[in-house]
Structure 1
Amino acid sequence: MRKMNVGYLRVSTENQTEKYGLDLQKNKIIERAEKDGDKIDKWYIDGGYSGSTLDRPDIQRLLEDSKNGYIEKVYIYKLDRVSRDTIDTLVILYRTLPEYNVKIVSATEELSLDTPMDKMKIGIDALMGQYEREIISMRTKAGMLERVKSGLWMGGGRVPFGYYYDRNDGILHPKEDEAEKVRTMYRLYNDGYSCQKISDMLGMKGERIVIQILKRKSNIGYIEYKGNIYKGKHEAIIDEETFYKTQRFMEKRSNNSYICNKFLLSGLCFCGKCGARMRYKKWANRHVLECYSRDGYKEYMVKNPNCDSKRPDAKDVEKEVSDCFKRFAVNITGRREKQLSKKELIEKEMKSTVDKLKKLYELYATNESETLLEVIGKSEKRVKELRRELDKETREKSLTTPERIEKIKKISDVWDKLDVKEQNKVLKECIDKIVITDGNIDIYFNLL
């Protein structure tokens, strides 16, 4: 079988004004091949792939076909189209393709490997290709960072739902019809509706979209970039109190599903033997609570297919939990000292870490060292973590205020007048989980 002469093309996503377009590369390669008396039998094209790695589909297919002996020559437009990484380029050029008896030909460069000087020139060209890529990347990242630090949006592309992007001022602006939907999402979620239900009601494309929107800090006027948060110049769609209340609610509900309209303990019960969730199941004229491992209704919920836990009567468990909760609501007391001491501990560690950083900065000024730089980096990272913890602790301090404790106490007086949905919502705000081990019921409250 005659070996093929092939062409390889690549354009990247790093620069949307890519100066080496596919058509230009292809025409130049055809010209060079015709000059050599060759015809391109097959094209390998990686469109929209960075040259920083070899993790590209067609370059891998090309190398595989070369290994299998199908290729005689590979025509390229320029060496950096193969790779912008120096090591990858030299390995392919010096080792991989020669090992497969494949010759590589550039339409715009001479790639002779006959003399040490030829090899040195190619090595320098490969280094310059990598240098150019790293400079472009560094400038792009630096420019973007300065942009978001000043409160401007990162540009077009993924504009968050609820806003539109104005290129003239570089700022996000509320898109009123979408912004109103966002406000409605927070209201419905905090009223106990599931993300799937909200998606259905508002015509969104699934519950994951709703979850993503509810978690976006852009809704309260911030910009998230590379793991850090910056104050944006754009107008907030919702207030911070509502946003953080929703985040706390989401954290709790992630462990106990959604607010149920039908069953009091839905989403709260776990099997004490295997750890699987328990579901309501109709049994003759009544409902029981059955472990998913025994039920087998959803395979991914099964923890132990041999679990032999009993099926307690749902009404009996509901009565015990209701009685226990009412006693809890009457006797609840705040433990503000515990919350305050935790906040004080964070503040103390942050002060210590900041003082340590100051000394490290002074030491580095007189003795520049890579080791010192590494320690400084770790300390700076720890300060950021502590600030986030302190912010969270400050925002959540309202969980144990006297006003809220008094409100929970009053629930016991009206508990029997609440409907199932309201009771389920209250329980999920106050209880992490209910563990049922045959006849034993353990309730784990999360407010104290």
Structure 2
Amino acid sequence: MCGTFLHKGGIVMECVAYLRVSTEKQAEEGNGLDSQKRDIENYCRKNQLIISDWYEDDGFTGSNMNRPALQRLINDCSKKKLKCVVAFKLDRLSRSMVDGIYLIERVFIPNGVDFRCVHDSVSYDSPMEQAYTQMMAVFAQLDKNTMLLRMRGGMLERVKQGYWMGGGNTPYCYRYSKEDGILVPIPERKEMALRAMNLYISGYSDVRIQKLIGFKSEFVTRQVLTSPVNIGMIPYKGKLYKGRHEPIFDIKVFELAQELRKTRKQSKSFCVNHENQLLTGLCYCGVCGCKMRYQKWTHGKHKIYCYSRDNGMSYLPNYNPNCSNSLEWAEDIEKQVEDEILKISLNLSSHKPKERESCLDILSKQLQKEKTKLKRLYALYAEGNDTVLEMIKETESGIDELKLKIQNEMKSPDNSQKKEFVYDNIKKLADVWEHIDKQNKNRILKTIISKIIIVNGNIEIQLKKF
């Protein structure tokens, strides 16, 4: 408990001291705990104060009040155990204007605590002094915000130069080198990532890859396969910057994997039969559009039927309880698919899917139309029609936007690698088909077939682009 008593030098009051430092850099700049303690002790000697306790927050930010020593100080003030608190500066107590004024007006003053600062004048004795103290709190927050702005600006420049941001959130396949400021691949994890990428492109799911490779979770597996860090990029504030670190994956392989990921729909349907069949995940009903599934039938055989026949699947898109599609023996449908796909493998050119108009083609056509429209408007304006001036400005602005979109589209990676991958898989199909098991056949089919449409026993195979 703080109090006052007589001393040979006069009346002396007991006090407590509050210290805070958040970083090693502050200590190097002269604001360390030792420096604060020295100045507080000198101040107390000159002002007849004796320090009875020290409240120290070492390594805590001043932007909030989540600090153990500060909370102990507030608790002791509320119990009226203290009479005087001394701090190095007001920003040591808090860098938040709201928190600083709250502590003075809602903690110290109501509990009769005299708050003093060695290097700042803090007083509520008059309106002018009160205003000055509040301005000091404002400047403490301004200093904090300015410091944050500098840090963010410095971080952006660092990232632009290809250096890693530092900190504890290091990507799975790397360790952070403080000396060089870059990420360094961990050899064994790099090897795991490369194996995982090969499996994913071969048709394995994230869950299956996790179990085979030994990643901690499906989330880690997905992060490894999708993070741009693994192709030498650094994501920062929603943008990507070229990093100085060694990439894990070849960029073309990475882009192919991302394209394949887009085409693989995560089915939320649950099937009683968990055995991986030849056409699992590929069959669609040609009558209602729902997915079709395998159903175990008599003597261990299977039939393929539409999900619309299952009352428990009413939440699925295209569900139609009146679907008239027939149940078909799985082996009959599989035989048709095998025969057809092997024919395609032997004669690729006649089965090549028709290319749809690309986004670039559509934008180019739109640009040509707008240019033609602009020429007509110019002609009208030349004839003295001033009413078209606003339309000319709008059309010119639209043309500029279209040109920008075309430039961005031209920069975006095409799917040539993906098409080449599909083409190679179809081409080699006839050579390997008889030598691989049903599970691997299903994986290959998923890389080359978009859908198999089934209508009353008849099939239509829709291939992916190649």
- Once the two structures are TM-superposed, the CA of residue 408 in structure 1 deviates from its matched residue by 4.5
| Separation (CA, whole Å) in 2 of partners of 1:106 and 1:295 | 75
Deviations 1:184-228 (A, max 9, x none): 221222223333333333333222112111222232222222222
Match among 414, 425, 433 for residue 443 of structure 2? 425
**Does structure 1 residue 208 correspond to structure 2 residue 222?**
no
Structure 1 residues 400 and 244, CA gap change in structure 2 (3 angstroms): closer
2:235 maps to which of 214, 224, 231? 224
The amino acid that maps onto 1:424 is N
Task: Give, as a single letter, the amino acid of the residue that structure 2 aligns with 1:195.
Answer: D
Report if aligned partners of 2:210, 2:218 keep a CA contact under 8 Å in 1.
yes
Contact 1:215/1:247 (CA < 8 Å) preserved in 2? yes
Conserved 8 A contact 1:199-1:207: yes
TM-score, structure 2 as length reference: 0.59
Q: What are the Cα deviations for residues 44-103 of structure 1, in whole angstroms up to 9, with x where unaligned?
A: x9886644456x49799899989xx96557868454355423245435644x55897686
Whole-angstrom CA distance in 2 between matches of 1:210 and 1:442: 35
What TM-score, normalized by structure 1, do the two folds share? 0.61
Offset of residue 244 of structure 1: 1.0
Task: Label 1:99 to 1:254 Cα distance change in 2 as closer, same or farther (>3 A).
Answer: farther
Whether 1:235 and 2:246 are equivalent positions in the alignment is yes
Residues 355 and 465 in structure 2, CA contact (< 8 A), matched pair in contact too: no
Q: After superposition, what is the alpha-carbon deviation per residue over 1:220-264, rounded to whole angstroms, capped at 9, x for unaligned?
A: 22222222222222333321111111122223335359xx97234
Does the alignment pair 1:138 with 2:126? no
Secondary structure class of the residue paired with 1:173:
strand
- Distance verdict in 2 for CA 1:343–1:430, change over 3 Å: farther
Task: From the superposition, tell whether residues 6 and 333 of structure 1 become closer, same or farther in structure 2 (CA, over 3 Å).
Answer: farther
In structure 2, the CA distance between the partners of 1:155 and 1:249, relative to structure 1 (3 Å rule), is: same
User: Which residue of the partner structure matches residue 246 of structure 1?
Assistant: 257
Change (3 A) 1:22 1:53: same
1:181–1:202 Cα contact (<8 Å) kept? yes
Q: 2:158 aligns with which of 147, 159, 171?
A: 147
2:276 maps to which residue? 262
Q: 1:341 aligns with which of 352, 361, 366?
A: 361
Report whether the alignment pairs 1:176 with 2:176: no
Select the residue among 170, 192, 208 that pairs with 1:197. Answer: 208
Indicate if the aligned counterparts of 2:57 and 2:69 stay in contact, CA closer than 8 A.
Answer: yes
Q: Deviation per CA, 1:299-345, whole angstroms, max 9, x where unpaired?
A: xx9959xx996999986478658857948967442316435415747
Give the 3 Å change call, closer, same or farther, for CA 35–223 of structure 1 in structure 2. same
Q: Aligned residue pairs: how many? A: 394
Decide whether aligned partners of structure 1 residues 127 and 178 sit closer, same or farther in structure 2, where only a CA change above 3 A counts: same
Cα RMSD of the aligned pairs, angstroms, is 6.1
2:130 paired with 1:119: yes
1:378 is matched with none
In the alignment, is the contact (CA less than 8 A) between 1:112 and 1:119 conserved in 2? yes
Structure 2 residue aligned with 1:362: none
Inter-partner Cα distance in structure 2 for 1:105 and 1:413: 86
Residue 97 of structure 2 is matched in structure 1 by 86
Tell me how far apart the structure 1 counterparts of residues 113 and 310 of structure 2 sit (CA, whole Å): 64
Cα deviation code 1:267-313 (max 9, x no counterpart) = 567999xx9998766577556779799798xxxx9959xx9969999
Determine helix, strand or coil for the equivalent of 2:358.
helix
Aligned mates of 1:314, 1:21 — CA distance in 2: 79
> Partners of 1:64 and 1:278 in 2: how far apart?
67
**Cα distance in structure 2, aligned partners of 1:313 and 1:164:** 57
Alpha carbons of 1:91 and 1:168: their partners in 2 closer, same or farther (altered >3 Å)? closer
Amino acid at match of 1:333: P
CA shift at 1:385, angstroms?
9.0
Q: 1:70 to 1:147 in 2, by over 3 A?
A: closer
Separation in 2, partners of 1:281, 1:63: 70
Q: Which residue of 2 aligns with 1:161?
A: 172
Which residue identity lines up with residue 443 of structure 2 in the other structure?
K
Amino acid at match of 1:209: V
Query: 125-134 or 431-440: which moved more?
Result: 431-440
Shift in alpha-carbon separation, 1:315–1:36, aligned structure 2, 3 A: farther
1:119-147 superposed Cα distances (whole Å, 9 cap, x missing partner): 22222221221122122212222222222
Counterpart position of 1:395: 414
**Which among 183, 199, 218 is matched to residue 188 of structure 1?**
199
1:295-444 correspondence runs (5 A) = 303=315, 316=329, 323=336, 326=340, 331-335=351-355, 337-342=357-362, 344=364, 390-392=410-412, 394-399=413-418, 404=422, 408=426, 419-429=437-447
Residues 196, 209 of structure 2: 8 Å contact kept: yes
Contact 2:20 2:59 in 1 (8 A): yes
Deviation, structure 1 residue 382:
12
Distance 1:303 1:102 in 2: 66
Shift of 1:409: 8.0
Change (3 A) 1:80 1:398: same
The verdict on how the C-alpha distance between 1:184 and 1:112 changes in structure 2, with shifts beyond 3 A counting, is: same
Counterparts of 2:170 and 2:235, CA distance in 1:
12
Q: Which shows bigger deviation, 308-317 or 225-234?
A: 308-317
Q: Work out the CA distance in 2 between the residues paired with 1:433 and 1:266.
A: 11
Change (3 A) 1:263 1:406: closer
CA distance, structure 2, for counterparts of residue 100 and residue 440 of structure 1: 86
Query: Which residue in the other structure is 1:374 paired with?
Result: none
Is contact 2:19-2:57 (8 Å) kept?
Answer: yes
413 and 184 in structure 1: CA distance in 2 versus 1, 3 angstrom threshold = closer
